[in-house]
Chains A and B, each alone.
Chain A
Amino acid sequence: MKPMLLLGAVIALLAALAPFLSIYGQHIFVLVALYGAVALAWNILGGMAGQMSLGHALFVGAGAYLSTALYLKLGVSPWIGLVLAACLGGALGALMGYTVFRRKLSGVYFALVTLALAEMTLHIVSNVSALGAANGLAIPARPSLANLQFTSKLGYCYAALAVLTVAAIVIIVIHRTRLGYVFLAIRENERSAAALGIDVVQGKVIAAAISGALAALVGPIYANYVLFIDPESVFGITLSIDALLFSFVGGLGSLFGPLLGTVVLVPLTELLRGMLAGRLAGIHLIVYGVILVLVMRLAPRGLWGLLSDAIARRRA
Protein backbone atom coordinates (compact mmCIF):
# COMPACT_ATOMS: atom_id res chain seq x y z
CA MET A 1 0.00 0.00 0.00
CA LYS A 2 2.93 2.33 0.69
CA PRO A 3 3.63 3.37 -2.92
CA MET A 4 -0.05 4.20 -3.48
CA LEU A 5 -0.13 6.40 -0.37
CA LEU A 6 3.08 8.12 -1.43
CA LEU A 7 1.66 8.68 -4.90
CA GLY A 8 -1.54 10.09 -3.41
CA ALA A 9 0.46 12.49 -1.26
CA VAL A 10 2.60 13.68 -4.19
CA ILE A 11 -0.42 14.20 -6.43
CA ALA A 12 -2.29 16.07 -3.69
CA LEU A 13 0.76 18.27 -3.13
CA LEU A 14 1.08 19.07 -6.83
CA ALA A 15 -2.64 19.78 -7.09
CA ALA A 16 -2.45 22.15 -4.12
CA LEU A 17 0.62 23.86 -5.60
CA ALA A 18 -0.80 24.48 -9.08
CA PRO A 19 -3.11 27.47 -8.24
CA PHE A 20 -0.17 29.43 -6.80
CA LEU A 21 1.95 29.15 -9.91
CA SER A 22 2.26 31.99 -12.41
CA ILE A 23 0.66 31.51 -15.81
CA TYR A 24 4.08 30.57 -17.19
CA GLY A 25 4.60 28.23 -14.25
CA GLN A 26 1.27 26.56 -14.99
CA HIS A 27 2.27 26.19 -18.64
CA ILE A 28 5.44 24.38 -17.56
CA PHE A 29 3.33 22.31 -15.14
CA VAL A 30 1.07 21.13 -17.98
CA LEU A 31 4.02 20.31 -20.22
CA VAL A 32 5.86 18.41 -17.49
CA ALA A 33 2.76 16.39 -16.59
CA LEU A 34 1.96 15.52 -20.21
CA TYR A 35 5.55 14.70 -21.22
CA GLY A 36 5.92 12.87 -17.91
CA ALA A 37 2.91 10.70 -18.73
CA VAL A 38 4.38 9.87 -22.15
CA ALA A 39 7.74 9.04 -20.58
CA LEU A 40 6.11 6.80 -17.95
CA ALA A 41 4.11 5.07 -20.68
CA TRP A 42 7.26 4.60 -22.76
CA ASN A 43 9.05 3.18 -19.74
CA ILE A 44 6.49 0.41 -19.24
CA LEU A 45 7.58 -1.09 -22.56
CA GLY A 46 11.14 0.26 -22.81
CA GLY A 47 12.25 0.15 -19.17
CA MET A 48 10.11 -2.42 -17.38
CA ALA A 49 9.82 -4.93 -20.23
CA GLY A 50 13.08 -3.91 -21.95
CA GLN A 51 11.72 -3.36 -25.49
CA MET A 52 12.96 -0.03 -26.87
CA SER A 53 10.53 1.97 -28.93
CA LEU A 54 11.64 4.79 -31.21
CA GLY A 55 8.12 5.67 -32.27
CA HIS A 56 5.95 6.43 -29.28
CA ALA A 57 4.75 9.60 -30.99
CA LEU A 58 2.61 7.24 -33.08
CA PHE A 59 0.39 6.58 -30.07
CA VAL A 60 0.22 10.20 -28.92
CA GLY A 61 -0.55 11.34 -32.47
CA ALA A 62 -3.15 8.64 -33.06
CA GLY A 63 -4.91 9.61 -29.83
CA ALA A 64 -4.78 13.33 -30.62
CA TYR A 65 -6.02 12.94 -34.19
CA LEU A 66 -8.74 10.42 -33.32
CA SER A 67 -10.39 12.50 -30.63
CA THR A 68 -9.94 15.79 -32.52
CA ALA A 69 -11.30 14.46 -35.79
CA LEU A 70 -14.27 12.82 -34.06
CA TYR A 71 -15.03 16.07 -32.25
CA LEU A 72 -14.68 18.32 -35.30
CA LYS A 73 -16.37 16.08 -37.87
CA LEU A 74 -18.98 14.23 -35.83
CA GLY A 75 -19.31 16.28 -32.67
CA VAL A 76 -18.22 13.35 -30.51
CA SER A 77 -17.39 14.47 -26.98
CA PRO A 78 -13.64 14.61 -26.30
CA TRP A 79 -14.31 12.55 -23.17
CA ILE A 80 -15.47 9.69 -25.37
CA GLY A 81 -12.57 10.58 -27.65
CA LEU A 82 -10.24 10.08 -24.71
CA VAL A 83 -11.53 6.56 -24.07
CA LEU A 84 -11.43 5.70 -27.78
CA ALA A 85 -7.90 7.11 -28.00
CA ALA A 86 -6.72 4.75 -25.26
CA CYS A 87 -8.41 1.83 -27.03
CA LEU A 88 -6.79 2.76 -30.35
CA GLY A 89 -3.37 3.18 -28.70
CA GLY A 90 -3.71 -0.19 -26.98
CA ALA A 91 -4.78 -1.88 -30.20
CA LEU A 92 -1.92 -0.32 -32.18
CA GLY A 93 0.57 -1.33 -29.50
CA ALA A 94 -0.72 -4.90 -29.41
CA LEU A 95 -0.71 -5.15 -33.20
CA MET A 96 2.82 -3.78 -33.54
CA GLY A 97 4.01 -5.99 -30.72
CA TYR A 98 2.36 -9.06 -32.11
CA THR A 99 3.68 -8.67 -35.66
CA VAL A 100 7.25 -8.09 -34.52
CA PHE A 101 7.64 -10.18 -31.37
CA ARG A 102 5.86 -13.26 -32.72
CA ARG A 103 8.71 -13.59 -35.23
CA LYS A 104 11.29 -13.56 -32.43
CA LEU A 105 13.03 -10.61 -34.06
CA SER A 106 15.61 -8.71 -32.03
CA GLY A 107 15.03 -5.52 -30.09
CA VAL A 108 16.79 -3.39 -32.70
CA TYR A 109 14.25 -4.57 -35.25
CA PHE A 110 11.38 -3.55 -33.01
CA ALA A 111 12.90 -0.10 -32.45
CA LEU A 112 13.23 0.39 -36.22
CA VAL A 113 9.70 -0.84 -36.92
CA THR A 114 8.24 1.60 -34.40
CA LEU A 115 10.30 4.42 -35.87
CA ALA A 116 9.22 3.54 -39.41
CA LEU A 117 5.53 3.24 -38.49
CA ALA A 118 5.50 6.62 -36.73
CA GLU A 119 7.19 8.30 -39.70
CA MET A 120 4.92 6.54 -42.19
CA THR A 121 1.84 7.65 -40.29
CA LEU A 122 3.17 11.21 -40.18
CA HIS A 123 3.45 11.26 -43.96
CA ILE A 124 0.11 9.61 -44.54
CA VAL A 125 -1.72 12.04 -42.25
CA SER A 126 0.14 14.92 -43.94
CA ASN A 127 -1.58 13.92 -47.17
CA VAL A 128 -5.11 13.31 -45.94
CA SER A 129 -7.07 16.50 -46.52
CA ALA A 130 -9.93 15.35 -44.28
CA LEU A 131 -7.39 15.50 -41.44
CA GLY A 132 -6.14 18.93 -42.44
CA ALA A 133 -3.12 17.45 -44.22
CA ALA A 134 0.17 19.18 -43.35
CA ASN A 135 -1.70 22.25 -42.04
CA GLY A 136 -3.18 20.29 -39.17
CA LEU A 137 -6.47 20.74 -37.37
CA ALA A 138 -7.52 23.75 -35.31
CA ILE A 139 -10.03 23.25 -32.53
CA PRO A 140 -12.41 26.18 -31.97
CA ALA A 141 -12.24 27.47 -28.40
CA ARG A 142 -15.48 26.55 -26.62
CA PRO A 143 -14.45 26.21 -22.99
CA SER A 144 -16.65 23.84 -21.00
CA LEU A 145 -16.05 20.71 -19.02
CA ALA A 146 -18.11 18.74 -21.55
CA ASN A 147 -15.71 19.85 -24.29
CA LEU A 148 -12.64 19.07 -22.16
CA GLN A 149 -11.66 22.75 -22.55
CA PHE A 150 -10.96 25.14 -19.71
CA THR A 151 -11.00 28.91 -19.37
CA SER A 152 -7.84 28.97 -17.26
CA LYS A 153 -4.55 27.12 -17.44
CA LEU A 154 -5.31 25.70 -14.01
CA GLY A 155 -7.98 23.42 -15.53
CA TYR A 156 -5.38 21.99 -17.90
CA CYS A 157 -2.99 21.53 -14.98
CA TYR A 158 -5.53 19.23 -13.39
CA ALA A 159 -6.40 17.45 -16.63
CA ALA A 160 -2.71 16.76 -17.30
CA LEU A 161 -2.16 15.74 -13.69
CA ALA A 162 -5.06 13.30 -13.98
CA VAL A 163 -3.49 11.59 -17.01
CA LEU A 164 -0.16 11.43 -15.21
CA THR A 165 -1.87 9.90 -12.18
CA VAL A 166 -3.53 7.23 -14.30
CA ALA A 167 -0.13 6.28 -15.75
CA ALA A 168 1.45 6.19 -12.28
CA ILE A 169 -1.34 4.02 -10.84
CA VAL A 170 -1.07 1.58 -13.74
CA ILE A 171 2.68 1.32 -13.14
CA ILE A 172 2.28 0.65 -9.43
CA VAL A 173 -0.37 -1.99 -10.07
CA ILE A 174 1.84 -3.71 -12.66
CA HIS A 175 4.77 -3.60 -10.27
CA ARG A 176 2.79 -5.22 -7.46
CA THR A 177 1.29 -8.04 -9.51
CA ARG A 178 2.50 -10.98 -11.57
CA LEU A 179 2.75 -8.78 -14.66
CA GLY A 180 5.62 -6.85 -13.06
CA TYR A 181 7.61 -10.06 -12.73
CA VAL A 182 6.66 -11.12 -16.26
CA PHE A 183 8.12 -7.85 -17.58
CA LEU A 184 11.18 -8.11 -15.33
CA ALA A 185 11.89 -11.66 -16.47
CA ILE A 186 11.48 -10.77 -20.15
CA ARG A 187 13.75 -7.75 -19.79
CA GLU A 188 16.45 -9.69 -17.96
CA ASN A 189 16.57 -13.01 -19.80
CA GLU A 190 13.98 -14.36 -22.23
CA ARG A 191 15.22 -17.95 -22.18
CA SER A 192 14.96 -18.12 -18.42
CA ALA A 193 11.60 -16.39 -18.47
CA ALA A 194 10.18 -19.06 -20.79
CA ALA A 195 11.66 -21.85 -18.65
CA LEU A 196 9.72 -20.43 -15.69
CA GLY A 197 6.40 -20.68 -17.50
CA ILE A 198 6.26 -17.14 -18.84
CA ASP A 199 4.82 -16.65 -22.33
CA VAL A 200 7.41 -14.18 -23.62
CA VAL A 201 5.57 -13.10 -26.78
CA GLN A 202 2.33 -12.55 -24.89
CA GLY A 203 4.14 -10.57 -22.18
CA LYS A 204 5.71 -8.22 -24.73
CA VAL A 205 2.41 -7.74 -26.54
CA ILE A 206 0.71 -6.83 -23.25
CA ALA A 207 3.52 -4.38 -22.41
CA ALA A 208 3.18 -2.73 -25.83
CA ALA A 209 -0.61 -2.52 -25.51
CA ILE A 210 -0.56 -0.91 -22.05
CA SER A 211 2.24 1.44 -23.08
CA GLY A 212 0.43 2.45 -26.27
CA ALA A 213 -2.89 2.99 -24.50
CA LEU A 214 -1.38 5.29 -21.87
CA ALA A 215 0.64 7.29 -24.40
CA ALA A 216 -2.47 7.73 -26.55
CA LEU A 217 -4.32 9.14 -23.56
CA VAL A 218 -1.99 12.15 -23.63
CA GLY A 219 -2.96 13.04 -27.23
CA PRO A 220 -6.48 14.44 -26.67
CA ILE A 221 -5.43 16.45 -23.60
CA TYR A 222 -2.50 17.95 -25.50
CA ALA A 223 -4.72 18.75 -28.50
CA ASN A 224 -7.31 20.52 -26.34
CA TYR A 225 -4.63 22.44 -24.46
CA VAL A 226 -2.97 23.81 -27.57
CA LEU A 227 -6.25 23.81 -29.56
CA PHE A 228 -4.23 22.84 -32.58
CA ILE A 229 -2.46 19.76 -33.83
CA ASP A 230 -0.37 19.11 -36.91
CA PRO A 231 1.40 15.94 -38.03
CA GLU A 232 4.88 17.14 -37.08
CA SER A 233 4.03 18.12 -33.52
CA VAL A 234 2.24 14.91 -32.49
CA PHE A 235 3.67 12.25 -34.85
CA GLY A 236 7.17 13.75 -35.17
CA ILE A 237 10.33 11.95 -34.16
CA THR A 238 11.19 14.70 -31.65
CA LEU A 239 8.43 13.52 -29.34
CA SER A 240 9.50 9.87 -29.67
CA ILE A 241 13.09 10.77 -28.84
CA ASP A 242 11.98 12.95 -25.91
CA ALA A 243 10.10 10.04 -24.32
CA LEU A 244 13.16 7.81 -24.62
CA LEU A 245 15.58 10.50 -23.48
CA PHE A 246 13.63 11.53 -20.39
CA SER A 247 13.47 7.87 -19.39
CA PHE A 248 17.19 7.33 -19.95
CA VAL A 249 18.20 10.42 -18.03
CA GLY A 250 15.73 9.69 -15.23
CA GLY A 251 16.67 6.02 -14.93
CA LEU A 252 15.45 3.17 -17.11
CA GLY A 253 15.23 0.43 -14.54
CA SER A 254 13.17 2.49 -12.10
CA LEU A 255 9.41 2.98 -12.00
CA PHE A 256 9.36 6.77 -11.70
CA GLY A 257 12.80 7.79 -12.91
CA PRO A 258 11.34 8.85 -16.29
CA LEU A 259 9.17 11.38 -14.47
CA LEU A 260 12.22 12.77 -12.71
CA GLY A 261 13.99 13.06 -16.07
CA THR A 262 10.99 14.99 -17.40
CA VAL A 263 10.87 17.30 -14.39
CA VAL A 264 14.49 18.25 -15.02
CA LEU A 265 14.63 18.35 -18.82
CA VAL A 266 11.33 19.98 -19.84
CA PRO A 267 11.79 23.19 -17.80
CA LEU A 268 15.41 23.28 -18.96
CA THR A 269 14.31 23.12 -22.60
CA GLU A 270 11.73 25.84 -22.07
CA LEU A 271 14.28 28.01 -20.29
CA LEU A 272 16.79 27.61 -23.09
CA ARG A 273 14.14 28.33 -25.70
CA GLY A 274 13.22 31.53 -23.87
CA MET A 275 16.81 32.64 -23.37
CA LEU A 276 17.85 32.07 -26.97
CA ALA A 277 14.56 33.43 -28.33
CA GLY A 278 14.63 31.62 -31.65
CA ARG A 279 18.32 32.06 -32.30
CA LEU A 280 20.28 28.81 -32.59
CA ALA A 281 17.30 26.60 -33.33
CA GLY A 282 17.85 23.07 -32.08
CA ILE A 283 20.31 24.13 -29.38
CA HIS A 284 18.27 22.12 -26.87
CA LEU A 285 19.19 18.97 -28.77
CA ILE A 286 22.88 19.74 -28.23
CA VAL A 287 22.22 20.37 -24.55
CA TYR A 288 20.30 17.07 -24.40
CA GLY A 289 23.24 15.30 -25.97
CA VAL A 290 25.65 16.72 -23.42
CA ILE A 291 23.34 15.84 -20.53
CA LEU A 292 22.88 12.33 -21.87
CA VAL A 293 26.63 11.76 -22.10
CA LEU A 294 27.14 13.18 -18.61
CA VAL A 295 24.40 11.02 -17.12
CA MET A 296 25.73 7.89 -18.80
CA ARG A 297 29.24 8.66 -17.51
CA LEU A 298 28.37 9.78 -14.00
CA ALA A 299 25.07 8.04 -13.25
CA PRO A 300 24.50 4.95 -15.40
CA ARG A 301 21.28 4.23 -13.48
CA GLY A 302 20.02 7.73 -14.16
CA LEU A 303 19.01 10.54 -11.84
CA TRP A 304 16.73 8.14 -9.97
CA GLY A 305 19.67 5.85 -9.23
CA LEU A 306 21.72 8.84 -8.10
CA LEU A 307 18.91 9.94 -5.80
CA SER A 308 18.21 6.53 -4.28
CA ASP A 309 21.93 5.97 -3.68
CA ALA A 310 22.12 9.31 -1.88
CA ILE A 311 19.12 8.41 0.28
CA ALA A 312 20.60 5.00 1.07
CA ARG A 313 23.86 6.69 2.13
CA ARG A 314 22.00 9.12 4.41
CA ARG A 315 20.23 6.20 6.09
CA ALA A 316 23.42 4.18 6.56
Chain B
Amino acid sequence: MSGPLLQVRGVSRWFGGLRAVDEVSFDLESHEIVGLIGPNGAGKTTLFETISGVIHPTKGAVTFDGSDITGHPPHRLARLGIGRTFQIVQPFRDVSVLENVIAGVLGPNRETSDPRAEAMAVLTRVRLDHRAGLLARNLSLPEKKRLEIARALATRPRLLLLDEVMAGLTPAEIDEIMVILADIRREGIALLIVEHVMRAIMSLSDRLVVMANGRKIAEGLPATVAADPAVIEAYLGRRHHGAA
Protein backbone atom coordinates (compact mmCIF):
# COMPACT_ATOMS: atom_id res chain seq x y z
CA MET B 1 0.00 0.00 0.00
CA SER B 2 1.48 3.32 -1.02
CA GLY B 3 0.35 6.67 0.36
CA PRO B 4 0.57 7.83 3.98
CA LEU B 5 0.59 5.25 6.77
CA LEU B 6 -1.84 7.27 8.84
CA GLN B 7 -4.37 9.78 7.56
CA VAL B 8 -6.38 11.95 9.91
CA ARG B 9 -9.21 13.59 8.00
CA GLY B 10 -11.29 16.39 9.52
CA VAL B 11 -11.49 14.68 12.90
CA SER B 12 -13.62 16.42 15.53
CA ARG B 13 -14.53 15.42 19.03
CA TRP B 14 -16.98 17.45 21.03
CA PHE B 15 -17.70 17.10 24.71
CA GLY B 16 -21.10 18.77 25.00
CA GLY B 17 -20.47 22.29 23.71
CA LEU B 18 -16.69 22.02 24.05
CA ARG B 19 -14.84 21.28 20.83
CA ALA B 20 -11.86 19.43 22.31
CA VAL B 21 -10.73 18.50 18.79
CA ASP B 22 -12.04 20.55 15.88
CA GLU B 23 -11.60 19.54 12.22
CA VAL B 24 -8.01 18.33 12.50
CA SER B 25 -6.32 16.77 9.46
CA PHE B 26 -2.77 15.58 8.94
CA ASP B 27 -0.81 12.70 7.41
CA LEU B 28 1.97 10.57 8.78
CA GLU B 29 4.26 8.64 6.42
CA SER B 30 5.76 5.29 7.37
CA HIS B 31 9.20 5.73 8.96
CA GLU B 32 8.29 9.27 9.94
CA ILE B 33 8.35 10.91 13.37
CA VAL B 34 5.63 13.50 13.80
CA GLY B 35 5.51 15.60 16.95
CA LEU B 36 2.12 16.79 18.18
CA ILE B 37 2.47 19.88 20.37
CA GLY B 38 0.29 22.56 21.84
CA PRO B 39 -0.54 24.21 25.16
CA ASN B 40 -2.33 22.25 27.87
CA GLY B 41 -5.93 21.61 26.98
CA ALA B 42 -5.20 21.98 23.25
CA GLY B 43 -6.79 18.59 22.55
CA LYS B 44 -3.69 16.46 21.98
CA THR B 45 -4.68 13.59 24.27
CA THR B 46 -8.23 13.60 22.94
CA LEU B 47 -6.95 13.38 19.35
CA PHE B 48 -4.64 10.61 20.46
CA GLU B 49 -7.42 8.62 22.06
CA THR B 50 -9.46 9.07 18.91
CA ILE B 51 -6.70 7.63 16.74
CA SER B 52 -6.16 4.73 19.16
CA GLY B 53 -9.86 3.86 19.24
CA VAL B 54 -10.60 4.69 22.86
CA ILE B 55 -12.73 7.72 21.97
CA HIS B 56 -15.07 7.83 18.99
CA PRO B 57 -14.76 10.96 16.83
CA THR B 58 -17.85 13.12 16.52
CA LYS B 59 -16.95 13.72 12.86
CA GLY B 60 -14.16 12.84 10.48
CA ALA B 61 -12.22 9.73 9.60
CA VAL B 62 -8.92 8.01 10.34
CA THR B 63 -7.29 5.62 7.90
CA PHE B 64 -4.35 3.36 8.54
CA ASP B 65 -2.43 1.79 5.67
CA GLY B 66 -5.23 2.81 3.33
CA SER B 67 -8.14 1.28 5.22
CA ASP B 68 -10.71 3.10 7.30
CA ILE B 69 -10.18 2.47 11.02
CA THR B 70 -12.58 5.11 12.37
CA GLY B 71 -14.29 3.81 15.49
CA HIS B 72 -12.45 0.48 15.56
CA PRO B 73 -11.95 -0.80 19.11
CA PRO B 74 -8.43 -0.48 20.59
CA HIS B 75 -7.60 -4.21 20.43
CA ARG B 76 -8.35 -4.30 16.69
CA LEU B 77 -6.07 -1.32 16.10
CA ALA B 78 -3.30 -2.94 18.13
CA ARG B 79 -3.61 -6.04 15.96
CA LEU B 80 -3.42 -3.90 12.82
CA GLY B 81 -0.12 -2.46 14.02
CA ILE B 82 -0.89 0.64 16.07
CA GLY B 83 0.88 0.55 19.43
CA ARG B 84 0.41 3.16 22.13
CA THR B 85 1.55 4.27 25.56
CA PHE B 86 -0.51 6.06 28.20
CA GLN B 87 0.22 9.54 29.53
CA ILE B 88 -0.33 8.13 33.00
CA VAL B 89 1.58 4.84 32.99
CA GLN B 90 -0.62 1.75 33.21
CA PRO B 91 1.64 -1.22 33.93
CA PHE B 92 0.40 -4.64 35.06
CA ARG B 93 1.57 -3.79 38.56
CA ASP B 94 1.54 -7.09 40.37
CA VAL B 95 3.37 -9.24 37.83
CA SER B 96 6.98 -9.17 36.71
CA VAL B 97 8.40 -6.77 34.16
CA LEU B 98 9.05 -9.71 31.85
CA GLU B 99 5.45 -10.94 32.12
CA ASN B 100 4.25 -7.43 31.25
CA VAL B 101 6.18 -7.61 28.01
CA ILE B 102 5.22 -11.24 27.25
CA ALA B 103 1.60 -10.09 27.43
CA GLY B 104 2.54 -7.55 24.76
CA VAL B 105 4.16 -10.23 22.59
CA LEU B 106 1.11 -12.52 22.86
CA GLY B 107 -1.57 -9.83 22.89
CA PRO B 108 -2.11 -9.47 19.13
CA ASN B 109 -2.50 -13.26 18.80
CA ARG B 110 -0.04 -13.93 16.01
CA GLU B 111 2.42 -16.79 15.60
CA THR B 112 5.42 -16.61 17.94
CA SER B 113 7.91 -19.39 18.58
CA ASP B 114 9.43 -18.14 21.83
CA PRO B 115 7.48 -15.31 23.48
CA ARG B 116 9.80 -15.21 26.49
CA ALA B 117 12.93 -14.73 24.37
CA GLU B 118 11.13 -12.18 22.23
CA ALA B 119 10.10 -10.25 25.34
CA MET B 120 13.65 -10.34 26.70
CA ALA B 121 14.92 -8.93 23.41
CA VAL B 122 12.43 -6.06 23.63
CA LEU B 123 13.49 -5.34 27.21
CA THR B 124 17.08 -5.13 26.03
CA ARG B 125 16.05 -2.58 23.41
CA VAL B 126 14.66 -0.25 26.10
CA ARG B 127 17.48 -1.13 28.52
CA LEU B 128 15.28 -2.80 31.10
CA ASP B 129 16.61 -6.35 30.76
CA HIS B 130 18.29 -6.12 34.16
CA ARG B 131 14.84 -5.49 35.70
CA ALA B 132 13.05 -8.44 34.04
CA GLY B 133 12.33 -10.33 37.25
CA LEU B 134 11.11 -7.37 39.30
CA LEU B 135 7.43 -6.71 39.98
CA ALA B 136 6.39 -3.82 37.74
CA ARG B 137 5.08 -1.88 40.76
CA ASN B 138 8.63 -1.67 42.10
CA LEU B 139 10.06 0.15 39.08
CA SER B 140 10.98 3.84 39.26
CA LEU B 141 8.95 6.29 37.14
CA PRO B 142 11.52 6.48 34.31
CA GLU B 143 11.67 2.69 34.28
CA LYS B 144 7.88 2.47 34.17
CA LYS B 145 7.88 4.82 31.18
CA ARG B 146 10.33 2.53 29.43
CA LEU B 147 8.26 -0.52 30.32
CA GLU B 148 5.29 1.23 28.74
CA ILE B 149 7.31 1.63 25.53
CA ALA B 150 8.60 -1.98 25.71
CA ARG B 151 5.12 -3.43 26.07
CA ALA B 152 3.88 -1.46 23.07
CA LEU B 153 6.96 -2.45 21.04
CA ALA B 154 6.35 -6.09 21.87
CA THR B 155 3.13 -6.00 19.84
CA ARG B 156 5.35 -5.29 16.78
CA PRO B 157 3.64 -2.05 15.78
CA ARG B 158 4.20 -0.18 12.54
CA LEU B 159 3.06 3.02 14.21
CA LEU B 160 3.70 3.90 17.83
CA LEU B 161 1.66 6.59 19.59
CA LEU B 162 3.55 8.04 22.55
CA ASP B 163 1.67 10.34 24.93
CA GLU B 164 4.10 12.39 27.07
CA VAL B 165 6.59 9.59 27.76
CA MET B 166 9.10 12.18 28.95
CA ALA B 167 6.88 14.10 31.36
CA GLY B 168 8.26 14.13 34.90
CA LEU B 169 11.72 12.89 33.92
CA THR B 170 15.11 14.51 34.55
CA PRO B 171 17.21 15.74 31.60
CA ALA B 172 19.46 12.66 31.84
CA GLU B 173 16.44 10.32 31.82
CA ILE B 174 15.00 12.23 28.86
CA ASP B 175 18.26 11.73 26.94
CA GLU B 176 18.00 8.00 27.59
CA ILE B 177 14.45 7.86 26.16
CA MET B 178 15.52 9.94 23.15
CA VAL B 179 18.22 7.40 22.32
CA ILE B 180 15.66 4.61 22.59
CA LEU B 181 13.19 6.44 20.33
CA ALA B 182 15.90 7.11 17.76
CA ASP B 183 16.68 3.36 17.77
CA ILE B 184 13.02 2.55 17.29
CA ARG B 185 12.62 4.79 14.25
CA ARG B 186 15.77 3.24 12.76
CA GLU B 187 13.96 -0.09 12.91
CA GLY B 188 11.33 1.40 10.61
CA ILE B 189 8.55 2.15 13.10
CA ALA B 190 6.69 5.41 12.58
CA LEU B 191 6.10 7.56 15.65
CA LEU B 192 3.47 10.07 16.65
CA ILE B 193 4.74 11.84 19.76
CA VAL B 194 2.88 14.14 22.10
CA GLU B 195 5.40 15.92 24.22
CA HIS B 196 5.94 19.06 26.26
CA VAL B 197 9.71 18.72 26.40
CA MET B 198 10.58 21.10 23.54
CA ARG B 199 14.25 20.23 23.30
CA ALA B 200 13.34 16.56 22.72
CA ILE B 201 10.48 17.04 20.30
CA MET B 202 12.37 19.61 18.23
CA SER B 203 15.34 17.31 17.70
CA LEU B 204 13.41 14.04 17.25
CA SER B 205 10.57 15.09 14.97
CA ASP B 206 10.69 15.21 11.19
CA ARG B 207 7.57 17.34 11.27
CA LEU B 208 5.44 19.06 13.86
CA VAL B 209 1.69 19.46 14.11
CA VAL B 210 0.67 22.27 16.44
CA MET B 211 -2.73 22.37 18.11
CA ALA B 212 -4.46 25.10 20.12
CA ASN B 213 -8.06 25.19 21.33
CA GLY B 214 -8.80 21.96 19.51
CA ARG B 215 -7.66 23.19 16.10
CA LYS B 216 -4.53 22.60 14.08
CA ILE B 217 -2.81 25.97 13.85
CA ALA B 218 0.45 25.01 12.15
CA GLU B 219 2.25 22.13 10.52
CA GLY B 220 5.76 21.75 9.09
CA LEU B 221 9.44 21.39 9.80
CA PRO B 222 10.34 22.02 13.45
CA ALA B 223 12.42 25.14 12.65
CA THR B 224 9.67 26.62 10.46
CA VAL B 225 6.95 25.93 12.98
CA ALA B 226 8.98 27.40 15.85
CA ALA B 227 9.20 30.67 13.95
CA ASP B 228 5.48 30.72 13.03
CA PRO B 229 3.78 33.80 14.55
CA ALA B 230 0.54 31.84 15.17
CA VAL B 231 2.45 29.26 17.20
CA ILE B 232 4.31 31.88 19.21
CA GLU B 233 1.01 33.63 19.84
CA ALA B 234 -0.64 30.40 21.05
CA TYR B 235 2.11 29.71 23.56
CA LEU B 236 2.71 33.37 24.57
CA GLY B 237 -0.99 34.16 24.64
CA ARG B 238 -1.33 31.29 27.03
CA ARG B 239 1.45 32.63 29.21
CA HIS B 240 -0.04 36.13 29.26
CA HIS B 241 -3.34 34.62 30.19
CA GLY B 242 -1.66 32.69 32.99
CA ALA B 243 0.03 35.83 34.29
CA ALA B 244 -3.17 37.83 34.28
Contacts and interface: CB of A to CB of B under 8 A. Distances in A.
A197 B91 contact: no
Interface residues of A, number: 18
B94 A196 contact: no
B26 interface: no
Contact of A184 (B75, B90, B92): B92
Contact of B78 (A188, A189, A196): A196
Contacts of A192: 86, 90-92, 151
Contacts, number: 74
B242 to A, nearest CB: 31
Interface string A167-178: 000000000001
Interface string B156-182: 000000000000000000000000000
B92 A195 contact: no
A191 B102 contact: no
Interface of B: 52, 54, 73-75, 78-79, 83-84, 86, 90-95, 99, 102-104, 106-109, 151-152, 154-155
B107 A193 contact: yes
Nearest 8 CB-CB pairings of A with B = A196-B107, A197-B108, A188-B92, A197-B78, A197-B107, A194-B74, A192-B90, A178-B106
Interface of A: 178, 181-182, 184-185, 188-189, 191-200, 253
A298 to B, nearest CB: 19
Given A191-B74, A196-B108, 14 more contacts: A178-B109, A181-B102, A184-B103, A188-B94, A189-B91, A189-B93, A192-B91, A192-B92, A193-B75, A193-B107, A195-B78, A196-B152, A197-B107, A199-B75
Nearest to B85: A195
Nearest to A189: B90
Given A188-B92, A188-B94, A197-B79, A181 B151 contact: no
B191 to A, nearest CB: 16
B155 A197 contact: yes
Nearest to B78: A197
Given A181-B103, A188-B93, A200-B75, A195 B152 contact: yes
A198 B84 CA distance: 13
Given A197-B75, A253-B94, A184 B109 contact: no
B75 A198 contact: yes
B104 A196 contact: yes
Contacts of A195: 52, 74-75, 78, 83-84, 86, 152
A287 B155 CA distance: 48
Given A196-B78, A197-B79, A185 B107 contact: yes
A198 B105 CA distance: 11
Contacts of A189: 90-93
Given A191-B86, A192-B86, A192-B151, A198 B107 contact: yes
